[in-house]
Amino acid sequence: MDVNASHRIRRRVLKAAHLVGLFLAMMVICLPGFWIVLSSLRPTVEIMAKPPVWIPSEISFDAYVAMFSGVGKGGIPVIDYFRNSLIISITSTVIALAIGISGGYAFARFSFRGKAGWFLGLMLTRTVPGIALSLPLFFVYAKLGLLDTHMGLILAYVALNVPFTIWLIDGFFRQVPKDLAEAAQIDGCTRWQAFWQVEFPLAGPGIASAGIFAFLTSWNEFALASNLTRSVNSKTLPVGLLDYTAEFTIDWRGMCALAVVMILPALALTFAVQKHLVSGLTSGAVKG
Measured distance CA(288)–CA(285) in Å, rounded: 9
Span 233-258, pLDDT tens digits = 899 999 988 888 877 788 888 888 88
Domain ranges of the chain: 2-60, 67-283
Classified by CATH at the fold level, domain 67-283 comes out as MetI-like fold (1.10.3720)
Percent over 70 (pLDDT), the chain: 91
Percent over 90 (pLDDT), the chain: 21
Whether the CB-CB separation of 76 and 240 falls below 8 Å is answered with yes
Measured distance CA(183)–CA(179) in Å, rounded: 6
pLDDT of residue 182: 81
Measured distance CA(273)–CA(276) in Å, rounded: 5
Non-local (6+) Cβ contacts of 181 within 8 A are: 191, 194, 195, 198, 199
Span 10-54, pLDDT tens digits = 888 888 899 999 999 988 888 888 888 888 888 888 888 888 888
Query: Residue length, the chain?
Result: 288
Q: What is the DSSP string of 178-201?
A: HHHHHHHHHTT--HHHHIIIIIHH
Angle of helix 115-125 relative to helix 150-175, nearest 10 degrees, comes to: 130
